[in-house]
Structure 1
Amino acid sequence: MGRAALLGMTMLAGLAPALTGTARAEDDLAAGATGLLPDGHFLTPFAAPGAQLFALKPGLSDFPGYVANVAMTSALSPDGRTLLVLSAGYNQLYSKTGATIAADSNEYVFVYDVSSGTPKQTQVLQVPNTFIGLAFAPDGQSFYVPGGVDDNVHVFRKSGDTWAESGSPIALGHNNTGNGLEVKPMAAGIAVTADGKHAVVANNYNDSVSVLDLTAGTKVGELDLRPGIINPAQSGQAGGEYPIWVAIQGTTAYVSAQRDREIDVVDFSTPASPTLVTRVRVPGNPNRMVVDKAGARLYVAADNADAVFVINTATNAVIETIHAAAPEGLLTNPETFRGAATNSVALSADGRTLYVTDGDINAVAVIPLSGAAPHHVQGLIPTAWYPNDVTPSADGSHLYVANGQSDPGPNPGNCSTNSYNAQRAAFCGSHNQYVLQIQKGGLLSMRTPEASALDSLTRQVAANDGFNTYPVPADERMMAALRARIHHVIYIVKENRTYDQILGDLGRGNGDPKLTEFGRAITPNFHRISRQFVDMDNFYDAGAVSGDGWPWSTSARESDIGIKTLPLNYSGRGLAYDWEGTNRNVDVAIPTLAGRQKAQPLYPNDPNLLPGTNNQAAPDGPAPGEGQRGYLWDSALRSGLSVRNYGFFIDLSRYSVSISDRIPPVADPYAQKLQVAYSANPTLLPLTDIYYRGFDNNFPDFYRVQEWDREFTAYERSGTLPNLELVRLMHDHMGNFGTASFGIDTPEKQQADNDYAVGRVVDRVAHSRFKDDTLIFVLEDDAQDGADHVDARRSTAYIVGPYVKHHAVISTHYSTVNLLRTIEDILGIDHLCINDAYQRPMTDVFDLGQPMWNYEAVPSRALITASLPLPAQYARLAPIPSTHPASWWAEQTRGYDWSREDLNNAEAFNRLIWSGLKGGVPYPGDATPGDAARDDDAHEHADAGASARLAERADH
């Protein structure tokens, strides 16, 4: 569906999104049975017949009500009586002293008896770490769990009716080292041979597979899948990288290598010397696979293709592509807009039906396999939030779906246990309300729907995701009018703040001043912009943290591998930060070894280390041939528009204070011709201002804007301002208090620096030749670092310029997706995926009767003591002192790593900021039973608000 057909949407006649079935019990909410999500989708997990949602409760003695997050993988025993569900999430819990409670900070295997159809939890087993792999032995008396970053495989055996780990895990022997820069191994998928004697494990970060002798309990063979390692004549060729899943037929293993989009076929008939047979290329990121009982067909789920590829195992050729996002006719141009995140496949026991999980549309696709190809989706079944796996029962009567997360809801006690102050930590108790802790996993059980029920269930999914929509005439008119008037968009992305944390004291809108930490005195420009233009008090970041916030903010979705790896990375369970262009800390925008060594002198002399520009986490564009080009700037370039990049997707390795070749924080790098930015995206490489410093808390946003303004002044002289400018202003993240430059070295100063920087951009545009045809959009990539009484993902967003309403409060539920949709429609470029294509633009923000606007930036008086060249009239004012000097903040954060966003314990940092700024004021949610009651009220009101928004959406 093209842009013109999707300028605005409203609901077609049919099912409206609504919670159906069982009542919303506490466990249902914890497991993901909420309605309206922060990304604008709806959930109706109880719509299917007999649907029940089970919270993953490990039964921890210290936290008896704790629910684990991220149900990753499920497996049914050969006799069909036992279902295993593996968690692979954040799952870190902290004591009142701030220490990690090791006994309560594990991953889990939940054991269910499904002999009667309905799951009954019988046991919970713990493993320190894991990722995605889980497999039964063919006799059903053992199962195997790869240990993720621990680089091993756990063996569990059954004795009577009880499971227990048997002996020490089988070591995979990669010496704590993966292929990349400062990365560790990561054991991923596993498959077991039909005779139960051997297993093959995908070594996700070593680009290899290991063959295990299960009788001896040892590794007996390994094959590096990279072309240049197998054959030196192919040195420097990409292949076999990021293997994640294994399927076995006889002594042939099929391995899905995600970065290079191929299935590697491995012969391990000689277990000690496995060999590569061939590579089968697929136009998407292959994920989980299943071989049919006859061993003739391999079914491969593939993200970015929203498809299942069928491979003939006799010829190792793709013989069919099954589009898995929706039935024919439900989506217009289903091959154009991607984003369903097809991520797992399962066959019914009789082999007649293929079940496929589409993670990002929260659905299971049902695909009958009877008859000749081509095969199609017959219908969709709604699930809870982000299904990761589906398992049919042995008798075909039930489906079991492992879902990854839930809506976090409010986090007024966003409480961090910490080690910096024992007395203050005691107030904290054990709230553990970091956003990745309060997003929960769950197991959805349902009766297998009859064919006659699939029509209504499919319409329910379509309503949940906005597929059954048509343009709203008022939206079309507004966007067309803006498109005729606006020729430039400046898109600013910031870091990590909730609405209440900044604007809770605004005095209008739905704010809680008790939760405000950086109010009007510290952020005068954000307050003035919100009052002078629009206060969007119901705006949500689609991402929970930067790892998914940046994909959502640039492509309106995230990759399946991104959502799977994020909680492990953030909990310190391995994996690299692959969400802003780099892979395993390698700048893959630079294709050559020589180029990488020039940009990063510490890069090893290894031509086989992630060669080429493939990026395993990048989204595809909407049309064929647009692999890894699904970002906002790609769409603008495809439409012939001009783009300039200031700080998006930059390799950050050269900013670390711990390396000898660090690029110093220079106020005017252009004057010195000092390159301070190396792009990590191949498309942005020639479009990036190399003098604009990327994410670095040592450096003020003030001087970032100075460099932006240098080019803006040149554009003003020439009249050639780019149509789309990408501007990263990140200092509201805060950090590096002991090494920060130019005196911006306390939380108050860093927030004020960010506030003034955004204000200066707005001011500069307002007094330029471009003021009448330029709009400025500002958001946080995520809201993880603060409390909010409505939702942990509610955040600040600002829209400034001509035709924006004045002095208005906009309480329409908007998200990152709506903001991107609005930019696209105004610029007249195509949408990025099925998310922004089927959600409405932010029409309520605009008024065509308001062409005139102006703005003057004011610095917070917190900046007066810094070493910035503020206007003279402000330098004479009395400064606002920081609550503590930089030395105090540096001491309290000793040991923190600020080299990239989100490396530190966000809960601890949140708590430190509150204590450091508020002194003896108890953290919200800590102190009294009355506070707890108010917290309960907040949850209740938030649930009521979600229900009201559901009803509002249904009425359209």
Structure 2
Amino acid sequence: MKPLLPLVLMGVALAGCANGPGPDAAPAPGDTATASPAAPDASPADATPTPDTATPGGQQGGLVPECDPGAIAEGAFVTAGQQDAGTAVLPNGRRVRPAGVIVPLADRAMGLALHPDGLHAYVIHGSSKANPDGVWVVDLPSGAVVQKLTGYSGYHGIALSPAGDRLAVAGLSSGRLHRFTVGADGLLTALDSVNVGVSLIDCAFDPDGATVYALSNTNSKVYGVDFETGAIAPRARAGTNAYDLVLDAAAGRAYASNLASGTVSAMDLATGELLANVPVGKNPEGLALDATRHRLYVANSDSDTVSVIDTEALAVIATWDLTGNDGGHTGGALDALWLDPSGDTLYAAQARRNAVSLVATADGSVRGAIPTGHYPVDLALSPDERTLVTVSMKGFGSGKSDLQKTLGQLNIAPVPDADGLAALTAEVADNNLGPSGWYPAACTGDALPPALRGGPDRPIKHVVLIIKENKTYDVVLGDDPTLGDGDPELCLFPEAVTPNIHALARSYTNMDNYYADAEVSIQGHLWTTMADCNDYAEKIHEAAFAIYGYEPATIVAGGTIFDHCLVNGVTFRNYGEFPGFGHHLMDDFEAFVDHKYPFWTMSVPDVEKAAEFIREFDQGIFSDFTYIVLPNDHTYGGKAGAPDPTWMVADNDAGLGMIVEAISHSEYWPETAIFVIEDDPQGPPDHVHSHRSISVVVSPHVRRGYVSSVHYSIPSLYATIERILGLPALNRNTLEAPPMIDIWLGEGDTPDYLPYQGLPNAVDFAVNPAGTEAARVSAGLDFSIPDRAEGLGAILWEMIKGDRPMPPYARFSDE
């Protein structure tokens, strides 16, 4: 093992950069290091600049005034979290400002039923935890929660009988249909649940309230359950991965949307006959029936379209585009529908837009939109058509102080008149498009930094994206406040453990207001490969039914970054990523993966993974876009016999240093940018927000010693990569996200081609002993698949901090 070198960037001046770098032999410790071609006599201290924070009036560089950091809007520097009683800023920088009354709900509120009296709403929380939050009853006039029946598992399936005297809940993973009677006061009395024996995702009553039809998402069957006796009779079978169920009593039919197959099943309830599987858009979810006009409306959650089915012909007669942009870029997560009694207006929940759109059924035009809480998933109109009631699964966003608490909301808003709708529509646009206006409109084209102008003469030809695993900002970089807004009290893996990420953050560009968009790893690897996580994966991840990023239902309509590169002629290579890549692994993508590089595993040290990348790199294998997974900073916690977590994080850091050293000492360095992020922020805490994480950019073309405090997240990262490589927008997220403009050198600035010398792992190898409390707790965790190590963050805190309690201000983000 190399001796631990002092923190210094080492190398020699480069000449004739147009023809590539010159000799790159690293000087021995104590030799003079050259900072750049323009500074041949730079000392080692000069090679490590003091960070300059990207706030108004910060480092100017050579950018034109339109793109200079001093021109950035003040809103760009706001941190994520709730701002006041009615407003929050999400990790992606968008605002949430729901219209009307806000009723706080519990974790993962997902399904809604509205009583015919218009006075009570019933909400099911879709959690699979040991003691789920169950069914809540809300008094609509007062906005008060008047009853909580905990312990009932569910998903989005909740239904009232037409008379309003009975309620049923589809129990998802419990396989049970929960039954309740409804009193005159609107309160519930629980009856015995019926064990159907398969996962149930939705349910609906027949007109007389005697039979509940329950839909299974695993075997796709529709079961008729006698509400009084609990007798069960299979009635029909839908398509693959069924989701939503509606009944057409007059026709004796049931309709079910099928996520995985992109179809809607029409079934005869009397005979059980499958009448048709009607092809619609990608990942169909919510259904709304107009029995009078023989129309069935289908929300295609990945396509952001509404399919209109003629229920007599059982064929699609129209498809309405709700993407809201000329290019048809998806990312709105259109997931639930409600039809007004006249049949003239369709209310469509768009989860990623945090809004409900009003669609004219005459022609599919969008009349306007009403803002909701974060991630609306179900909705209903009051019987008098004056009030829109919406369940927003994530409320004001996943917890500022607890990543795993996505506390929902019931949003109770008056249906606006034309003028009111116009004002609310403008507010929805402002909430969602605000980040795209952080830089002046003139900051485009030739006003952009050269690195972001694209074209054949672009200065950066190679982009490397390195994905580490599950860390907040403070837990790694919090020990050095000069790097940005860090809290040493919350740092578990300081510079002595992670010298490379510290050196890179200090010497290149660091971001202290960057957020990982995911709450868990199975979402995180979708975000890092797609700049999105579709509605199916957002909702179903706790039940873990899917192979994420492999099962087609988890791949967004716009595809992955790998699909995007393939279609647009950008070469790419994958080291270790399966989600988002595995679905084409053995056909389209087989030639673009290093088969010797292990897919996600902690059983192989990250320095060995790095060595495998370098083996190929030394053979001249280096694509336009390179994606590398280094996951071992996840750690095994205190698992007896496993490597000590501090050593594992140090191994991960050393692997990072090896990769950057190899690239920066090569002929490719003058044309390369390396982005280093975490897939998600699970683990120990952060003092700003549970989603805040690490983003460091390493390149000759970035500002040296620069700290950006602009609010960025993964869509901004990909918006930046797209501009570097000349790619079109991958989806609506990257189309509307602000690229990372402030971090690059401007016109006339001189790139710094000084290579980087990696620093080795200085932590002695050790294994976790048996018999400790950390070993006992870790023994019950499953490290073989993502997101099954609940409490890992608390374990790491105790192993490193001992009995010291976590500060009360900590934004805890445990796994």
Q: 1:308 to 1:860 in 2, by over 3 A?
A: same
Tell me, yes or no, if structure 1 residue 709 matches structure 2 residue 594.
no
Tell me, yes or no, if structure 1 residue 362 matches structure 2 residue 346.
no
Contact 1:649–1:681 (Cα < 8 Å) also in 2: no
Rounded Cα–Cα distance in structure 1 between residues aligned with 2:500 and 2:369: 47
Number of the residue aligned with 1:440: 407
Identify which of 201, 206, 212 aligns with 2:214: 201
Tell me, yes or no, if structure 1 residue 74 matches structure 2 residue 112.
yes
Q: 1:409-461, CA deviations, whole angstroms, 9 ceiling, x for partnerless residues? A: 543xxxxxxxxxxxxxxxxxxxxx4x112x31011111111112222221211
Contact 1:364–1:383 (Cα < 8 Å) also in 2: yes
Rounded Cα–Cα distance in structure 2 between residues aligned with 1:643 and 1:17: 32
Number of the residue aligned with 2:102: 53
Q: How does 1:226-375 map to 2 (within 5 A)?
A: 240-250=239-249, 251-270=252-271, 274-294=272-292, 296-326=294-324, 331-333=325-327, 336-369=328-361, 372=362, 374-375=363-364
Identify which of 423, 432, 435 aligns with 1:465: 432
Number of the residue aligned with 1:632: 561
Contact 1:243–1:257 (Cα < 8 Å) also in 2: yes
1:791 aligned partner, one-letter code: H
Rounded Cα–Cα distance in structure 2 between residues aligned with 1:153 and 1:124: 18
Number of the residue aligned with 1:132: 156
Q: 1:620 to 1:153 in 2, by over 3 A?
A: same
Rounded Cα–Cα distance in structure 2 between residues aligned with 1:681 and 1:797: 32
Number of the residue aligned with 2:795: 912
Tell me, yes or no, if structure 1 residue 407 matches structure 2 residue 407.
no
Q: 1:497 to 1:850 in 2, by over 3 A?
A: farther
Number of the residue aligned with 1:834: 732
Q: 1:800 to 1:919 in 2, by over 3 A?
A: same
In the TM superposition, what is the alpha-carbon distance from 1:17 to its structure 2 partner? 11
Number of the residue aligned with 1:846: 744
Q: 1:844-881, CA deviations, whole angstroms, 9 ceiling, x for partnerless residues? A: 1111424223211112310x447xxxxxxxxxxxxxxx
Identify which of 693, 702, 708 aligns with 1:810: 708
In the TM superposition, what is the alpha-carbon distance from 1:269 to its structure 2 partner? 1.0
Rounded Cα–Cα distance in structure 2 between residues aligned with 1:149 and 1:347: 30
Tell me, yes or no, if structure 1 residue 487 matches structure 2 residue 487.
no
Rounded Cα–Cα distance in structure 2 between residues aligned with 1:524 and 1:775: 20
Q: Aligned residue pairs: how many?
A: 726
Tell me, yes or no, if structure 1 residue 784 matches structure 2 residue 682.
yes
Higher mean Cα deviation, 305-314 or 524-533? 305-314
Tell me, yes or no, if structure 1 residue 617 matches structure 2 residue 607.
no
SS of 2:532 mapped into structure 1: coil
Q: 1:700 to 1:223 in 2, by over 3 A?
A: farther
2:702 aligned partner, one-letter code: V
Contact 2:472–2:682 (Cα < 8 Å) also in 1: yes
SS of 1:465 mapped into structure 2: helix
Number of the residue aligned with 2:782: 897
Identify which of 694, 702, 726 aligns with 2:599: 694
Rounded Cα–Cα distance in structure 1 between residues aligned with 2:418 and 2:732: 26
In the TM superposition, what is the alpha-carbon distance from 1:408 to its structure 2 partner? 4.2
Number of the residue aligned with 1:751: 649
Contact 2:399–2:407 (Cα < 8 Å) also in 1: no
Rounded Cα–Cα distance in structure 2 between residues aligned with 1:303 and 1:695: 29
SS of 1:366 mapped into structure 2: strand
In the TM superposition, what is the alpha-carbon distance from 1:289 to its structure 2 partner? 0.6
In the TM superposition, what is the alpha-carbon distance from 1:914 to its structure 2 partner? 1.1
Q: TM-score, normalised by structure 2?
A: 0.84
1:523 aligned partner, one-letter code: T
2:299 aligned partner, one-letter code: A
Q: 1:222-272, CA deviations, whole angstroms, 9 ceiling, x for partnerless residues? A: 5444xxxxxxxxxxxxxx2110111110221101110000001111114xx
In the TM superposition, what is the alpha-carbon distance from 1:161 to its structure 2 partner? 2.3
Contact 1:695–1:900 (Cα < 8 Å) also in 2: no
Q: 1:600-647, CA deviations, whole angstroms, 9 ceiling, x for partnerless residues? A: xxxxxxxxxxxxxxx1111112xxxxxxxx211222111111111111
In the TM superposition, what is the alpha-carbon distance from 1:162 to its structure 2 partner? 5.4
SS of 2:207 mapped into structure 1: coil
Number of the residue aligned with 2:96: 43
Number of the residue aligned with 2:519: 544
2:545 aligned partner, one-letter code: A
In the TM superposition, what is the alpha-carbon distance from 1:808 to its structure 2 partner? 1.4
Rounded Cα–Cα distance in structure 2 between residues aligned with 1:137 and 1:362: 29
Rounded Cα–Cα distance in structure 2 between residues aligned with 1:475 and 1:860: 43
Number of the residue aligned with 1:378: 367
Rounded Cα–Cα distance in structure 2 between residues aligned with 1:641 and 1:840: 22
Number of the residue aligned with 2:627: 726
Contact 1:645–1:726 (Cα < 8 Å) also in 2: yes
Contact 1:752–1:860 (Cα < 8 Å) also in 2: yes
2:613 aligned partner, one-letter code: W
1:911 aligned partner, one-letter code: A
Unaligned runs of 5+ in 1: 1-6, 11-15, 57-67, 93-101, 175-185, 226-239, 412-432, 584-614, 622-629, 653-676, 867-881, 926-933, 940-956
Rounded Cα–Cα distance in structure 1 between residues aligned with 2:68 and 2:371: 21
Q: 1:128 to 1:110 in 2, by over 3 A?
A: closer
Number of the residue aligned with 2:139: 113
Rounded Cα–Cα distance in structure 2 between residues aligned with 1:838 and 1:651: 22
Rounded Cα–Cα distance in structure 1 between residues aligned with 2:114 and 2:400: 36
Rounded Cα–Cα distance in structure 1 between residues aligned with 2:440 and 2:399: 31
Rounded Cα–Cα distance in structure 2 between residues aligned with 1:503 and 1:859: 18
1:357 aligned partner, one-letter code: A
SS of 2:779 mapped into structure 1: coil
Rounded Cα–Cα distance in structure 1 between residues aligned with 2:633 and 2:230: 51
In the TM superposition, what is the alpha-carbon distance from 1:900 to its structure 2 partner? 1.4
Rounded Cα–Cα distance in structure 2 between residues aligned with 1:206 and 1:161: 38
Q: How does 1:604-683 map to 2 (within 5 A)?
A: 615-621=552-558, 630-649=559-578, 683=588
1:332 aligned partner, one-letter code: D
Contact 1:388–1:402 (Cα < 8 Å) also in 2: yes
Contact 2:465–2:676 (Cα < 8 Å) also in 1: yes
Q: 1:341-394, CA deviations, whole angstroms, 9 ceiling, x for partnerless residues? A: 10000012333321110000111101133xx4x221010111111111121111
SS of 1:301 mapped into structure 2: strand
Q: 1:100-140, CA deviations, whole angstroms, 9 ceiling, x for partnerless residues? A: xx6xx2232221233x4x54432222343111101111221
Q: 1:83 to 1:678 in 2, by over 3 A?
A: closer
Q: TM-score, normalised by structure 1?
A: 0.72
Rounded Cα–Cα distance in structure 1 between residues aligned with 2:602 and 2:470: 14
Q: 1:471 to 1:207 in 2, by over 3 A?
A: farther
Rounded Cα–Cα distance in structure 2 between residues aligned with 1:380 and 1:8: 32
Rounded Cα–Cα distance in structure 2 between residues aligned with 1:337 and 1:471: 23
Q: How does 1:761-772 map to 2 (within 5 A)?
A: 761-772=659-670
Rounded Cα–Cα distance in structure 1 between residues aligned with 2:451 and 2:174: 57
Q: 1:192 to 1:479 in 2, by over 3 A?
A: farther
Contact 1:642–1:723 (Cα < 8 Å) also in 2: yes
Unaligned runs of 5+ in 2: 1-65, 70-74
Identify which of 471, 474, 481 aligns with 1:500: 474
Rounded Cα–Cα distance in structure 2 between residues aligned with 1:698 and 1:710: 20
Contact 2:606–2:632 (Cα < 8 Å) also in 1: yes
In the TM superposition, what is the alpha-carbon distance from 1:714 to its structure 2 partner? 1.1
Q: 1:121 to 1:790 in 2, by over 3 A?
A: same
Greater strand share, 1 or 2?
2
Q: 1:475 to 1:794 in 2, by over 3 A?
A: farther
Q: 1:620 to 1:783 in 2, by over 3 A?
A: same
2:404 aligned partner, one-letter code: L
Rounded Cα–Cα distance in structure 2 between residues aligned with 1:18 and 1:499: 16
